[in-house]
Amino acid sequence: MKRSLIICAVICIVAALLGWRESKQLSSKKEANAKLVREASALPIDDAQMSKAASIRMAQRKEDLAMKKKVKALASDCFALLRNEGGASAEELATLRENIKSRLEELDPSAIREFMDEFNSNPDVNSGMKSDVNEYVINVFIKKYPLEMARMMSKAPELFSISDESMPERVIYDPFKYLVYYYCWMKKDLPLVFQCLAEASPEFQSKYISETLEYYGDTPLRRAELFEEMRAFASTPEQVELVQGQMSNLLFGRPDAKVTFIEVSDLLQSANLSSEELVAATKDMEKKVRVGETGQWLDWLAIAEIPDEISKERTFELATRWTEKDYLAVGQWLNSSPDSPEKSAVASAYAAKTYPYDPENAMRWIETLPQGAERTKALEAIYQNMLRESDAAKEFASEYGLQR
Protein backbone atom coordinates (compact mmCIF):
# COMPACT_ATOMS: atom_id res chain seq x y z
CA MET A 1 0.00 0.00 0.00
CA LYS A 2 2.78 2.36 0.96
CA ARG A 3 4.61 1.54 -2.25
CA SER A 4 1.53 2.38 -4.37
CA LEU A 5 1.18 5.74 -2.66
CA ILE A 6 4.80 6.55 -3.42
CA ILE A 7 4.35 5.65 -7.12
CA CYS A 8 1.24 7.82 -7.38
CA ALA A 9 3.05 10.72 -5.79
CA VAL A 10 5.93 10.41 -8.24
CA ILE A 11 3.52 10.35 -11.21
CA CYS A 12 1.78 13.48 -9.97
CA ILE A 13 5.08 15.31 -9.52
CA VAL A 14 6.22 14.38 -13.06
CA ALA A 15 2.91 15.49 -14.56
CA ALA A 16 3.11 18.80 -12.72
CA LEU A 17 6.65 19.38 -13.98
CA LEU A 18 5.64 18.63 -17.57
CA GLY A 19 2.68 20.97 -17.35
CA TRP A 20 4.83 23.72 -15.91
CA ARG A 21 7.38 23.32 -18.73
CA GLU A 22 4.70 23.51 -21.47
CA SER A 23 3.20 26.57 -19.80
CA LYS A 24 6.59 28.29 -19.76
CA GLN A 25 7.19 27.44 -23.45
CA LEU A 26 3.77 28.81 -24.44
CA SER A 27 4.37 31.95 -22.40
CA SER A 28 7.77 32.45 -24.08
CA LYS A 29 6.23 32.11 -27.55
CA LYS A 30 3.52 34.64 -26.70
CA GLU A 31 6.11 37.10 -25.41
CA ALA A 32 8.24 36.64 -28.57
CA ASN A 33 5.24 37.25 -30.85
CA ALA A 34 4.22 40.31 -28.87
CA LYS A 35 7.75 41.64 -29.14
CA LEU A 36 7.73 41.20 -32.93
CA VAL A 37 4.41 43.04 -33.17
CA ARG A 38 5.75 45.92 -31.06
CA GLU A 39 8.91 46.13 -33.15
CA ALA A 40 6.94 46.12 -36.39
CA SER A 41 4.65 48.85 -35.05
CA ALA A 42 7.64 50.93 -34.09
CA LEU A 43 9.10 50.84 -37.61
CA PRO A 44 8.76 54.15 -39.43
CA ILE A 45 6.28 54.21 -42.31
CA ASP A 46 7.88 55.04 -45.62
CA ASP A 47 5.43 57.56 -46.99
CA ALA A 48 7.33 57.73 -50.26
CA GLN A 49 7.01 54.00 -50.84
CA MET A 50 3.30 54.01 -49.98
CA SER A 51 2.75 56.95 -52.26
CA LYS A 52 4.64 55.28 -55.07
CA ALA A 53 2.62 52.05 -54.73
CA ALA A 54 -0.63 54.02 -54.70
CA SER A 55 0.48 55.94 -57.78
CA ILE A 56 1.28 52.71 -59.60
CA ARG A 57 -2.12 51.27 -58.74
CA MET A 58 -3.85 54.46 -59.82
CA ALA A 59 -1.92 54.55 -63.08
CA GLN A 60 -2.76 50.90 -63.75
CA ARG A 61 -6.42 51.56 -63.05
CA LYS A 62 -6.42 54.54 -65.43
CA GLU A 63 -4.65 52.44 -68.05
CA ASP A 64 -7.21 49.63 -67.70
CA LEU A 65 -10.10 52.08 -67.96
CA ALA A 66 -8.54 53.73 -71.00
CA MET A 67 -8.02 50.33 -72.63
CA LYS A 68 -11.63 49.33 -71.99
CA LYS A 69 -12.87 52.64 -73.40
CA LYS A 70 -10.61 52.24 -76.45
CA VAL A 71 -11.75 48.67 -77.04
CA LYS A 72 -15.40 49.55 -76.60
CA ALA A 73 -15.10 52.29 -79.22
CA LEU A 74 -13.21 49.95 -81.55
CA ALA A 75 -15.84 47.22 -81.23
CA SER A 76 -18.58 49.77 -81.93
CA ASP A 77 -16.76 51.16 -84.98
CA CYS A 78 -16.06 47.65 -86.26
CA PHE A 79 -19.74 46.75 -85.96
CA ALA A 80 -20.74 49.95 -87.75
CA LEU A 81 -18.28 49.22 -90.56
CA LEU A 82 -19.57 45.69 -91.06
CA ARG A 83 -23.16 46.83 -90.92
CA ASN A 84 -22.42 49.76 -93.31
CA GLU A 85 -25.59 51.63 -92.41
CA GLY A 86 -24.32 54.77 -94.13
CA GLY A 87 -23.96 53.02 -97.46
CA ALA A 88 -20.29 53.89 -97.88
CA SER A 89 -18.68 53.38 -101.25
CA ALA A 90 -16.16 50.64 -101.95
CA GLU A 91 -13.29 53.09 -101.61
CA GLU A 92 -14.61 54.47 -98.34
CA LEU A 93 -15.11 50.94 -96.99
CA ALA A 94 -11.52 50.04 -97.91
CA THR A 95 -10.26 53.11 -96.00
CA LEU A 96 -12.41 52.27 -92.99
CA ARG A 97 -11.20 48.68 -93.02
CA GLU A 98 -7.58 49.82 -93.02
CA ASN A 99 -8.34 52.10 -90.10
CA ILE A 100 -9.91 49.25 -88.13
CA LYS A 101 -7.04 46.94 -89.00
CA SER A 102 -4.48 49.53 -87.85
CA ARG A 103 -6.29 49.98 -84.53
CA LEU A 104 -6.57 46.23 -84.03
CA GLU A 105 -2.84 45.86 -84.55
CA GLU A 106 -2.28 48.09 -81.52
CA LEU A 107 -4.09 45.70 -79.15
CA ASP A 108 -2.16 43.40 -76.86
CA PRO A 109 -3.53 39.91 -75.99
CA SER A 110 -5.55 41.10 -72.97
CA ALA A 111 -7.13 43.85 -75.08
CA ILE A 112 -7.82 41.35 -77.87
CA ARG A 113 -9.81 39.21 -75.46
CA GLU A 114 -11.68 42.32 -74.30
CA PHE A 115 -12.42 43.25 -77.92
CA MET A 116 -13.77 39.79 -78.79
CA ASP A 117 -15.96 39.81 -75.68
CA GLU A 118 -17.27 43.29 -76.45
CA PHE A 119 -17.96 42.59 -80.12
CA ASN A 120 -19.72 39.27 -79.52
CA SER A 121 -21.86 40.71 -76.72
CA ASN A 122 -23.68 42.85 -79.27
CA PRO A 123 -27.04 41.08 -79.88
CA ASP A 124 -27.19 42.38 -83.46
CA VAL A 125 -23.98 40.67 -84.54
CA ASN A 126 -24.75 37.95 -87.12
CA SER A 127 -22.74 35.04 -88.55
CA GLY A 128 -21.56 37.11 -91.51
CA MET A 129 -20.09 39.75 -89.20
CA LYS A 130 -18.41 37.07 -87.11
CA SER A 131 -16.88 35.72 -90.29
CA ASP A 132 -15.53 39.17 -91.15
CA VAL A 133 -14.09 39.65 -87.68
CA ASN A 134 -12.39 36.26 -87.91
CA GLU A 135 -10.59 37.59 -90.97
CA TYR A 136 -8.98 40.16 -88.69
CA VAL A 137 -8.21 37.40 -86.18
CA ILE A 138 -6.48 35.47 -88.97
CA ASN A 139 -4.67 38.34 -90.63
CA VAL A 140 -3.74 40.35 -87.53
CA PHE A 141 -3.89 38.56 -84.20
CA ILE A 142 -2.68 35.07 -85.17
CA LYS A 143 0.31 36.42 -87.04
CA LYS A 144 1.29 38.71 -84.18
CA TYR A 145 0.51 36.59 -81.10
CA PRO A 146 0.32 32.90 -82.14
CA LEU A 147 0.89 31.36 -78.71
CA GLU A 148 -1.45 33.70 -76.87
CA MET A 149 -4.14 33.28 -79.53
CA ALA A 150 -3.86 29.48 -79.40
CA ARG A 151 -4.45 29.64 -75.66
CA MET A 152 -7.28 32.16 -76.00
CA MET A 153 -9.10 30.31 -78.78
CA SER A 154 -9.05 27.00 -76.93
CA LYS A 155 -10.32 28.61 -73.72
CA ALA A 156 -13.11 30.60 -75.41
CA PRO A 157 -13.87 28.90 -78.76
CA GLU A 158 -17.34 30.45 -78.87
CA LEU A 159 -15.82 33.92 -79.30
CA PHE A 160 -14.15 32.75 -82.51
CA SER A 161 -17.12 30.70 -83.81
CA ILE A 162 -15.14 27.48 -83.39
CA SER A 163 -17.50 24.54 -83.09
CA ASP A 164 -18.21 21.14 -84.57
CA GLU A 165 -21.48 22.37 -86.04
CA SER A 166 -21.72 23.96 -89.47
CA MET A 167 -22.58 27.64 -89.51
CA PRO A 168 -25.67 28.90 -91.35
CA GLU A 169 -25.62 31.25 -94.31
CA ARG A 170 -21.85 31.86 -94.49
CA VAL A 171 -19.05 29.52 -93.62
CA ILE A 172 -16.89 30.94 -90.85
CA TYR A 173 -13.36 29.74 -91.38
CA ASP A 174 -11.90 28.10 -88.28
CA PRO A 175 -9.11 30.44 -87.09
CA PHE A 176 -7.31 27.75 -85.09
CA LYS A 177 -7.17 25.57 -88.18
CA TYR A 178 -5.74 28.55 -90.04
CA LEU A 179 -3.11 29.00 -87.33
CA VAL A 180 -1.91 25.42 -87.90
CA TYR A 181 -2.02 25.91 -91.68
CA TYR A 182 -0.16 29.24 -91.61
CA TYR A 183 2.75 28.07 -89.47
CA CYS A 184 2.95 24.62 -91.10
CA TRP A 185 2.57 25.53 -94.75
CA MET A 186 3.40 29.21 -95.04
CA LYS A 187 6.10 29.63 -92.40
CA LYS A 188 7.33 26.02 -92.14
CA ASP A 189 7.75 26.53 -88.39
CA LEU A 190 6.87 23.14 -86.90
CA PRO A 191 8.27 23.86 -83.40
CA LEU A 192 5.97 26.87 -83.12
CA VAL A 193 2.98 24.84 -84.30
CA PHE A 194 3.50 22.30 -81.52
CA GLN A 195 4.13 25.05 -78.99
CA CYS A 196 0.72 26.43 -79.95
CA LEU A 197 -0.85 22.98 -79.57
CA ALA A 198 0.80 22.62 -76.17
CA GLU A 199 -0.83 25.92 -75.12
CA ALA A 200 -4.26 24.67 -76.19
CA SER A 201 -6.64 22.42 -74.31
CA PRO A 202 -6.47 18.60 -74.68
CA GLU A 203 -9.65 18.74 -76.76
CA PHE A 204 -8.02 21.13 -79.22
CA GLN A 205 -4.84 19.05 -79.33
CA SER A 206 -6.88 16.00 -80.27
CA LYS A 207 -8.91 17.92 -82.85
CA TYR A 208 -6.10 19.73 -84.65
CA ILE A 209 -2.98 17.54 -84.47
CA SER A 210 -4.05 15.69 -87.62
CA GLU A 211 -4.03 19.01 -89.50
CA THR A 212 -0.24 19.03 -89.22
CA LEU A 213 -0.13 15.90 -91.41
CA GLU A 214 -2.31 17.54 -94.04
CA TYR A 215 -0.28 20.75 -94.17
CA TYR A 216 3.24 19.49 -93.64
CA GLY A 217 3.49 15.76 -94.35
CA ASP A 218 3.65 15.93 -98.15
CA THR A 219 7.17 14.44 -98.51
CA PRO A 220 9.09 11.68 -96.68
CA LEU A 221 11.60 14.24 -95.36
CA ARG A 222 8.89 16.45 -93.92
CA ARG A 223 7.10 13.47 -92.42
CA ALA A 224 10.36 12.56 -90.68
CA GLU A 225 10.62 16.11 -89.30
CA LEU A 226 6.98 16.03 -88.28
CA PHE A 227 7.43 12.69 -86.58
CA GLU A 228 10.29 14.03 -84.42
CA GLU A 229 8.30 17.12 -83.45
CA MET A 230 5.31 14.98 -82.50
CA ARG A 231 7.44 12.79 -80.28
CA ALA A 232 8.97 15.85 -78.60
CA PHE A 233 5.48 17.29 -78.07
CA ALA A 234 4.19 14.16 -76.28
CA SER A 235 5.02 14.94 -72.66
CA THR A 236 1.94 13.43 -70.96
CA PRO A 237 0.39 9.93 -71.23
CA GLU A 238 -2.59 11.45 -73.05
CA GLN A 239 -0.33 13.19 -75.57
CA VAL A 240 1.69 9.99 -76.10
CA GLU A 241 -1.55 8.16 -76.91
CA LEU A 242 -2.61 11.01 -79.18
CA VAL A 243 0.66 10.95 -81.12
CA GLN A 244 0.63 7.17 -81.46
CA GLY A 245 -2.84 7.46 -82.95
CA GLN A 246 -1.33 9.60 -85.72
CA MET A 247 1.73 7.46 -86.42
CA SER A 248 0.25 5.21 -89.09
CA ASN A 249 -1.07 8.11 -91.17
CA LEU A 250 2.14 10.04 -90.55
CA LEU A 251 4.45 7.28 -91.74
CA PHE A 252 2.37 6.12 -94.70
CA GLY A 253 1.10 9.54 -95.72
CA ARG A 254 -2.42 10.23 -96.94
CA PRO A 255 -4.55 7.19 -97.86
CA ASP A 256 -4.35 8.10 -101.55
CA ALA A 257 -0.58 8.67 -101.46
CA LYS A 258 0.48 5.00 -101.50
CA VAL A 259 4.10 5.76 -100.67
CA THR A 260 6.73 3.18 -101.58
CA PHE A 261 8.08 0.44 -99.35
CA ILE A 262 11.57 1.95 -99.49
CA GLU A 263 10.32 5.39 -98.37
CA VAL A 264 8.40 4.07 -95.39
CA SER A 265 10.84 1.36 -94.31
CA ASP A 266 13.70 3.88 -94.41
CA LEU A 267 11.68 6.25 -92.26
CA LEU A 268 10.81 3.45 -89.83
CA GLN A 269 14.47 2.52 -89.55
CA SER A 270 15.73 6.06 -89.04
CA ALA A 271 13.01 6.82 -86.47
CA ASN A 272 14.23 3.99 -84.21
CA LEU A 273 10.73 3.18 -82.98
CA SER A 274 9.96 1.26 -79.82
CA SER A 275 7.89 -1.93 -80.04
CA GLU A 276 4.83 -0.02 -78.83
CA GLU A 277 5.35 2.68 -81.45
CA LEU A 278 5.76 0.05 -84.19
CA VAL A 279 2.42 -1.44 -83.22
CA ALA A 280 0.81 2.01 -83.56
CA ALA A 281 2.66 2.80 -86.80
CA THR A 282 1.52 -0.39 -88.57
CA LYS A 283 -2.14 -0.11 -87.66
CA ASP A 284 -4.37 -0.47 -90.76
CA MET A 285 -1.26 -0.79 -92.92
CA GLU A 286 -3.05 -3.18 -95.28
CA LYS A 287 -5.11 -0.20 -96.49
CA LYS A 288 -2.06 1.97 -97.12
CA VAL A 289 0.67 -0.13 -98.74
CA ARG A 290 1.00 -0.72 -102.45
CA VAL A 291 -0.53 -4.08 -103.32
CA GLY A 292 2.48 -5.06 -105.44
CA GLU A 293 4.79 -4.47 -102.46
CA THR A 294 2.84 -6.60 -99.99
CA GLY A 295 5.40 -9.40 -100.18
CA GLN A 296 8.14 -6.98 -99.09
CA TRP A 297 6.03 -5.87 -96.16
CA LEU A 298 5.40 -9.47 -95.15
CA ASP A 299 9.16 -10.08 -95.14
CA TRP A 300 9.64 -6.89 -93.11
CA LEU A 301 7.09 -7.98 -90.51
CA ALA A 302 8.99 -11.26 -90.08
CA ILE A 303 12.00 -9.39 -88.69
CA ALA A 304 10.35 -6.31 -87.12
CA GLU A 305 10.43 -5.87 -83.36
CA ILE A 306 6.68 -6.32 -83.00
CA PRO A 307 4.97 -8.72 -80.57
CA ASP A 308 4.27 -12.06 -82.27
CA GLU A 309 0.49 -11.87 -81.97
CA ILE A 310 0.38 -8.38 -83.46
CA SER A 311 2.78 -9.40 -86.25
CA LYS A 312 0.54 -12.35 -87.15
CA GLU A 313 -2.52 -10.11 -87.11
CA ARG A 314 -0.89 -7.57 -89.43
CA THR A 315 0.29 -10.39 -91.70
CA PHE A 316 -3.18 -11.94 -91.91
CA GLU A 317 -4.74 -8.55 -92.77
CA LEU A 318 -2.13 -7.86 -95.46
CA ALA A 319 -2.47 -11.34 -96.95
CA THR A 320 -6.28 -11.15 -96.98
CA ARG A 321 -6.24 -7.93 -98.97
CA TRP A 322 -3.43 -9.16 -101.22
CA THR A 323 -5.37 -12.33 -102.02
CA GLU A 324 -8.43 -10.27 -102.91
CA LYS A 325 -6.35 -8.20 -105.33
CA ASP A 326 -3.88 -10.76 -106.71
CA TYR A 327 -4.25 -14.33 -105.39
CA LEU A 328 -1.75 -15.68 -107.94
CA ALA A 329 1.00 -13.47 -106.50
CA VAL A 330 0.16 -14.68 -102.99
CA GLY A 331 0.40 -18.30 -104.13
CA GLN A 332 3.82 -17.63 -105.64
CA TRP A 333 4.99 -15.97 -102.43
CA LEU A 334 3.81 -18.95 -100.39
CA ASN A 335 5.59 -21.40 -102.67
CA SER A 336 8.89 -19.52 -102.46
CA SER A 337 8.92 -18.46 -98.79
CA PRO A 338 10.51 -20.51 -95.99
CA ASP A 339 8.38 -21.75 -93.10
CA SER A 340 7.71 -19.09 -90.46
CA PRO A 341 4.86 -17.86 -88.27
CA GLU A 342 4.23 -15.14 -90.86
CA LYS A 343 3.97 -17.71 -93.65
CA SER A 344 1.39 -19.62 -91.62
CA ALA A 345 -0.65 -16.44 -91.22
CA VAL A 346 -0.48 -15.81 -94.99
CA ALA A 347 -1.49 -19.40 -95.76
CA SER A 348 -4.44 -19.06 -93.37
CA ALA A 349 -5.67 -15.87 -95.03
CA TYR A 350 -5.01 -17.23 -98.53
CA ALA A 351 -6.94 -20.45 -97.89
CA ALA A 352 -9.91 -18.61 -96.39
CA LYS A 353 -10.18 -16.30 -99.39
CA THR A 354 -9.58 -18.83 -102.19
CA TYR A 355 -11.75 -21.68 -100.85
CA PRO A 356 -14.97 -20.58 -102.63
CA TYR A 357 -13.39 -20.92 -106.10
CA ASP A 358 -10.46 -23.28 -105.45
CA PRO A 359 -11.36 -25.43 -102.42
CA GLU A 360 -8.84 -28.17 -103.21
CA ASN A 361 -5.87 -25.83 -103.24
CA ALA A 362 -7.17 -23.94 -100.20
CA MET A 363 -7.48 -27.13 -98.16
CA ARG A 364 -3.97 -28.15 -99.26
CA TRP A 365 -2.61 -25.03 -97.60
CA ILE A 366 -4.75 -25.52 -94.53
CA GLU A 367 -3.30 -29.00 -94.13
CA THR A 368 0.17 -27.42 -93.92
CA LEU A 369 -0.91 -25.51 -90.84
CA PRO A 370 -0.36 -27.09 -87.43
CA GLN A 371 -3.25 -27.36 -85.03
CA GLY A 372 -3.68 -23.92 -83.51
CA ALA A 373 -4.99 -20.41 -83.96
CA GLU A 374 -4.05 -19.91 -87.63
CA ARG A 375 -5.63 -23.17 -88.76
CA THR A 376 -8.79 -22.55 -86.75
CA LYS A 377 -9.01 -18.96 -88.01
CA ALA A 378 -8.94 -20.13 -91.64
CA LEU A 379 -11.50 -22.89 -91.09
CA GLU A 380 -13.87 -20.55 -89.28
CA ALA A 381 -13.54 -17.93 -92.02
CA ILE A 382 -14.45 -20.56 -94.63
CA TYR A 383 -17.38 -21.76 -92.56
CA GLN A 384 -18.69 -18.21 -92.02
CA ASN A 385 -18.93 -17.76 -95.80
CA MET A 386 -21.01 -20.89 -96.27
CA LEU A 387 -24.78 -21.06 -96.17
CA ARG A 388 -25.29 -22.06 -92.54
CA GLU A 389 -28.14 -24.49 -93.11
CA SER A 390 -26.67 -26.14 -96.16
CA ASP A 391 -25.55 -29.77 -96.04
CA ALA A 392 -22.04 -28.70 -97.09
CA ALA A 393 -21.78 -26.27 -94.15
CA LYS A 394 -23.02 -28.84 -91.66
CA GLU A 395 -20.61 -31.45 -92.99
CA PHE A 396 -17.69 -28.97 -92.91
CA ALA A 397 -18.45 -27.92 -89.32
CA SER A 398 -18.75 -31.54 -88.21
CA GLU A 399 -15.52 -32.64 -89.91
CA TYR A 400 -13.41 -29.86 -88.38
CA GLY A 401 -15.16 -29.55 -85.02
CA LEU A 402 -16.57 -26.07 -85.57
CA GLN A 403 -19.51 -24.74 -83.59
CA ARG A 404 -22.61 -24.13 -85.65
Q: Are 289 and 261 in contact (CB under 8 A)?
A: yes
Confidence of residue 155 (pLDDT cuts 50, 70, 90): very high
Give the confidence band of 15 by pLDDT, cuts at 50, 70, 90: very low
* pLDDT at 16 exceeding the cut of 50: no
Instruction: Give me the pLDDT at residue 395, please.
Output: 82
Predicted confidence band of residue 36 (pLDDT cuts 50, 70, 90): low
Give the model's pLDDT for residue 251.
Answer: 87
Percent of the chain, pLDDT > 90?
51
Give the number of other CB atoms < 10 A from CB of residue 140: 18
Residue 272 has pLDDT above 60, yes or no: yes
pLDDT of 112 reads: 96
> How confident is the model at residue 342, as a pLDDT?
86
Task: Share the mean pLDDT of the chain.
Answer: 84
Distance CA 74, CA 67 (A): 10
Window from 76-85, 210-219, 392-401 with minimum mean pLDDT: 392-401
Range name among 17-31, 65-79, 116-130 with the lowest pLDDT average: 17-31
Label residue 145 left, alpha or beta by phi (over 0 means left) and psi (-120 to 50 means alpha).
Answer: beta
The answer to whether the Cα torsion of 17, 18, 20, 24 is positive or negative is: positive
- Per-residue pLDDT tens over the stretch 91-114: 888 999 999 999 999 999 999 999
Give pLDDT, residue 34: 61
Residue type, 355: Y
Q: Residues 352-374: pLDDT tens digits?
A: 899 888 889 988 988 888 888 88
- For the chain, what are the domain ranges? 63-179, 293-404
pLDDT digits (tens, 9 = 90+) for 47-84: 666 677 777 777 677 777 888 999 999 999 999 999 88
Q: What is the pLDDT of residues 338-352, one digit of tens each?
A: 888 888 999 999 998
CA diameter of the chain: 116
- List for the chain the helix, strand, coil content (%; round to 5): 75, 0, 25
| Distance, CA of 244 to CA of 279 (rounded, Å) | 9
pLDDT score of 5 = 42
Query: What is the pLDDT, as a whole number, of residue 95?
Result: 92
Nearest one of 249, 156, 145 to 196, comparing CA atoms: 145
pLDDT at residue 369, as a whole number: 86
Burial code of 279-302, b = ≥16 C-beta within 10 A, e = fewer? bbbbbebbebbeeebbbebbebbb
Residue 45 has pLDDT above 90, yes or no: no
* Amino acid (one-letter) located at 94: A
What distance, in Å, lies between the first and last C-alpha atoms of the chain?
A: 92
What pLDDT does 28 receive?
Answer: 59
Q: Which amino acid type is present at position 89?
A: S
Dihedral sign for Cα 139, 144, 148, 150, please. positive
In the structure, what pLDDT confidence band is assigned to residue 145 with cuts at 50, 70 and 90? Answer: very high
| 115 Cβ neighbours under 8 A, 6+ residues apart | 71, 74, 75, 104, 107
CA distance 341 to 320: 16
* Number of residues that make up the chain: 404
